[in-house]
Structure 1
Amino acid sequence: MRRDRFAPDPETIARLKELSGLNDNDVQKVAELGRLVHLPDSWSLILETTPADAAYYILEGEVSVRRGGEEVATLGPGTFIGEAAIMNHSIRSAAVVTKTEVTALNFTPESGRELVAAVPSIGEAIAEADAERTADNAGE
């Protein structure tokens, strides 16, 4: 995994704004708190049943979400992953492995919580996504 300081270059800022629908001030806050990471194909970035240490916002590429080794979802650009566990201080409920090369913003538990406090719409979107995933998991 290559990890760069996230210098909010115009191209990445434009991509983030396009995917997220956030206003300029909120995009800037995301840029300040996230770290840009470039992940190779087949990289395990989240391990099932482990403590939460990071969340990611996918800018480019696709990831496979797996439970018990079985793929349950494929997620791509514009998706937060791992956010529920860092917000709830919980154990990971699934593994996440890159299916392609992925460019993402990485958030620590601290920066993730700071982001939700600074940009309420992100907190609302995370809560909605978490509720949908919980409902989907209950229906399995």
Structure 2
Amino acid sequence: MSDAEVALIASRGTQVHLPADWSLIWEKTPADKAYIILRGEVSVRRAGTEIARLGPGDTVGESAIVSRKLRNATVVSLTEMDVLHFTSDSVRQLLDEVPAFREALEQTTRERLPQPAGS
């Protein structure tokens, strides 16, 4: 992405500091927000089992917004964190305005969503 695209994305988010052991996202809830991790680490859990750990530069919460489905995992901070918080509306606007952002989130969504049996 260009510097201008990165600046636009950053301008649509709100920087937030979160404590350790904070639930950012809950499984089976509506997709109302997403985050870009600036500092810290999260545990991604499906049905209570950790399926991934993510850190700086990773996004969380975007897959449910892109796919227009309920959350498929819970995300809990393992450390203190700094994140950029985005509403679902701001993510959808950025998907329309920044093609490279759309491509990146669609790719992440394909990689992270559970695949149907036999795929």
TM-score, structure 1 normalization: 0.78
**Structure 1: distance between partners of 2:112 and 2:10:** 26
Provide the residue aligned with 2:66 in structure 1.
Answer: 87
Does 2:94 match 1:115?
A: yes
2:17 match: secondary structure: strand
Is the Cα–Cα contact under 8 Å of residues 87 and 109 in structure 1 kept in the other structure? no
Identity %: 49
Task: Indicate the structure with greater strand content.
Answer: 2
Residue 115 of structure 2 is matched in structure 1 by 138
Q: For 1:49, what is the secondary structure of its paired residue?
A: coil
Further displaced range: 49-58 or 125-134: 125-134
Distance 1:72 1:82 in 2: 15
The aligned runs of 1:62-81 (5 Å cut-off) are 62-81=41-60
For 1:32, give the aligned amino acid.
S
Q: In the alignment, which of 37, 53, 67 is matched to residue 58 of structure 1?
A: 37
For 1:103, the equivalent position in structure 2 comes to 82
1:8: which partner in 2?
none
Aligned CA-pair RMSD = 1.5
Indicate conservation of the 8 Å contact 1:35/1:107, yes or no.
yes
Q: Give the deviation of 1:31 after TM superposition.
A: 2.0
Alpha-carbon distance between aligned partners in 2 of 1:88 and 1:133, rounded to the nearest angstrom: 11
Tell me, in whole angstroms, the C-alpha distance in 2 between the residues paired with 1:98 and 1:139: 28
Higher helix fraction (1 or 2) = 1
- Greater RCO (CA < 8 Å, at least 6 residues apart): 2
What is the one-letter code of the residue matched to 2:91? G
In the TM superposition, structure 1's runs of 4+ consecutive aligned residues that sit over 6 Å from their partners are: none
Classify 1:139/1:75 alpha carbon distance in 2 versus 1 (closer, same or farther; 3 Å).
farther
Contact map agreement 2:66 2:109 (CA 8 A) in 1: no
Q: Could you list the runs of 5+ residues in structure 2 that have no partner in the other structure?
A: none
Equivalenced residue count is 117
